[in-house]
Structure 1
Amino acid sequence: MTIIGIAGGTGSGKTTVVKKIVKALPPHYVAVVPLDSYYNDTSDMTEEERHAINFDHPDAFDWKLLIKQINDLKSGNAIEQPTYSYLDCNRLKETVHVEPKPVIIIEGIMTLLNKKLRDMMDMKIFVDTDSDERLIRNIQRDVVERGRTVDMVVDRYLKVLKPMHEQFIEPTKRYADLIIPQGGENLTGIDILCKYIEGIVPKD
């Protein structure tokens, strides 16, 4: 099994990079584990308390559960991956059944932050995209998918996303084996990555 970690700021294009990797491989060879599925369970909190959580801080994630489930996959065991609602700011009852695959992709803003998780990876990738571009993508996504206004998104970006990115996410770029600029618009980086992955996939 090969474990690949893909990190980068919110709106950097991580999901696009993951889709390109998945497309380059046979469907049965890859499983994607999103870091966003592993926000802490906040069922014991009030709605007001949940909405006050800084979801761009490392403490917002259930690292223990994520590391355990990646270890389970490495051991050949299927997992029940949690799911999370951005609207409710809480973990849902539903889970996603994930079978172990030859290639496991862990994707999220702070995927390279936790050392225990990082040490499990065979390849570490950072998607490095201009901050203005990331802000535009955040506005487009949050207004459509999460019911926020433009003013809300910009205010959150300035007060939370930008400082958290500079403090926690940007520094993890130094751990990357491969840096992909501008969300994969530079196809050279994607091509190198896909060639590497194709080389580790057993031929039928």
Structure 2
Amino acid sequence: MACNCEGIIGIAFLITNILLSYTIIIAGVFVIHIIFIALWYTMINKVDGELKNKLIVSLKENFIEDTVTNLDPISNAWNHMFMTLDCCGVNPVESTSNDFDHTPWCTTVGSCQDNTSQIPRTCCIDVNGMTYPSAPNACHANVTSGTYNAKGCFEVLKKKLLSQSPGSIGVVITIMLIEIINVTLAVAIGCHKD
């Protein structure tokens, strides 16, 4: 805001020093925007692998029960995510052997460890916070195709995040174009005065 006032004052009163400092500030901001865009595209690929690994570790260490009322808030969050995003696990669920096999829910205690479930009831199609307890056995016990959300949550989250990219990049590019116009006008006015 102060930078815009500086530019307006410089243009209104044709003060060359103010126009020069305005031009330098806007050029610096322009460079920062270029760096932002470069980092955005660089980090997308890096985040891809790291995010997936962190999600797998979180699921393996924290998924303890296929309910939304247990004492572990992270386990509850996983179950809410399965129902909200219509996904299941981190990777797509293709059979009874899946991401849940190494979770406490399957190895220590839970309906998976008891062999009554292969995937959480919260992964079943068309369940919500009220109806998941009565999810059909064909879904959570038999993992019958078409009864559960087969998509992995990583791909669903990645798609949601990447859907925001074009809009964000578009705004930055629009701002950069305005900055180019402002710098060009400031330089032209400054040169014209002399």
TM-score over 0.5 (shorter chain): no
TM-score, normalization by structure 2: 0.28
- Structure of higher CA gyration radius: 2
Q: Per residue, is there more helix in 1 or in 2?
A: 2
| Greater RCO, CA 8 A, separation 6+ | 1
Q: Per residue, is there more strand in 1 or in 2?
A: 1
